[in-house]
Structure formats: structure tokens, C-alpha cells
Amino acid sequence: MSYQSIFRDCAFQQQVIIITGGGSGIGRCTAHELAALGAQVILVGRTKEKLDSVANDIQQDGGLADTFAFDIRDERA
């Protein structure tokens, strides 16, 4: 069974979307999907290496991705 998005192509063109937990799991998959649909994704998480890996994958596929590594639960961050 192949995957088919419920969104039309370029549905998120010129949109900036912040994804917490973007370094793995559901956050990673969401980032790839939204970037493929035209969004610029901002990946937020605790592990810079994981975030950078996801951002590099997205950029290699022609998408836009930036990263910010910090713990959103930390009020001092």
C-alpha cells in the first residue's frame, strides 16, 4: 500500500511551521511531510545532532529547514 497525502501539493507554500520534537518519531515525519508540501519548517528539540540530521535530509530533498536545540520545558531556555 502506498502513501498518499491528504493535502494538495504546495498546500503550505510560504508558511513557516514550528515543530517541537522534530528530531525523531512523529515530529520527524511531520517535518518531512510539511516541507514536501512547501512549508519552511523550524525544528525544535533537545538534541542538536538529531535536528541537524533531519534538517539536512529535508534540504537535500529541496525543502527549507532550520533548527533550534533547547528544552522547551526549561523556562530559562
The reply to whether 7 falls in a domain is: no
**Nearest residue to 10 via CA among 38, 30, 35:** 38
Do 41 and 17 meet the contact criterion of CB atoms below 8 Å apart? yes
The reply to whether 43 falls in a domain is: yes
pLDDT tens string 39-73? 999 999 999 999 999 999 999 999 999 999 988 78
The reply to whether 44 falls in a domain is: yes
The whole-number pLDDT of residue 6 equals 66
The reply to whether 74 falls in a domain is: no
pTM for the model: 0.85
The reply to whether 51 falls in a domain is: yes
Average pLDDT over residues 5-11: 73
Looking at the DSSP bridge assignments, the partners of residue 43 are 19, 67
The reply to whether 55 falls in a domain is: yes
Supply the range of the domain harboring residue 36: 16-69
Give how many domains the chain has, as a whole number.
1
The reply to whether 2 falls in a domain is: no
For the chain, strand residue ranges (E) read: 16-20, 40-45, 64-69
Query: In the numeric block, which cell numbers belong to residue 77?
Result: 531556555
Burial 4-21 (b: 16+ CB within 10 A, else e): eeeeeeeebeeeebebeb
